[in-house]
Structure 1
Amino acid sequence: MYAAQKKGADFTVFFFTPMCGNCQMASRLVDMTQNVDNIHTTIAKVDLNYVPEIAQTLEITSVPALVKFKEGNPVDVSYRLHDVTAIFEFLYSE
């Protein structure tokens, strides 16, 4: 994630914690979006237990969360990861 930020890349990060049941379900939904042939969005998965400072810096208030980065900067966050459609809408929103 840090390398992509330094390069000014566009990417999305899925933040989770392993003991979160909703995170496990959302992780499977994120995986489904990545299996669609025409998806060209890079999504990294990060366990917030290992990087709590990122949660504070990005002001992540709950998990699961998707944070969209444009040119290496965070531009949007979504906590609505209840279905694949909501994830697609977030990934492709401007």
Structure 2
Amino acid sequence: MMDMNEIELLELLAQEGRPLVIFFYTPLCGTCKAARRMLEVAEHLLPTDVIVAAGNVNMMPEIVSRYRISSVPALLVSSAERKASPDIFYSMVSVERVLEYIRSVTP
């Protein structure tokens, strides 16, 4: 999982071809740190074609506004086709739940 800036994430959201997962956090959020660890474990269980990225919402006003990110941690998942709006999940209680969210958009 790579931390990216807003421009890089907007480009990924516009590109088709691979499923996309973006983890949104703030640096001082303890719950975000726990959720990030869950996502890092889940990442090892995903197909290699899934793009997993992260971004600090404090530095992403356009994305926060466009996708109405209301709290952190947040997980945005988008299918490879990018035809439908991405799903955003706020409850990451376990690695299994995180995998469920991601698998909802992967074949």
1:8 matched to 2:19: no
Q: Which runs of 5+ in 1 are unaligned?
A: none
TM-score by length of 1: 0.86
1:43 corresponding residue in structure 2: 52
1:81 corresponding residue in structure 2: 92
Amino-acid identity (%) = 28
Runs of 4+ in 1 over 4 A off after TM superposition: none
**Alignment partners' CA distance in 2, 1:39 and 1:63:** 25
2:5 corresponding residue in structure 1: none
Q: Which runs of 5+ in 2 are unaligned?
A: 1-8
Which residue identity does 1:34 align to in structure 2? E
Superposed CA RMSD: 1.7
SS of the aligned residue for 2:58 comes to coil
1:17 corresponding residue in structure 2: 26
SS of the aligned residue for 1:56 comes to helix
2:37 corresponding residue in structure 1: 28
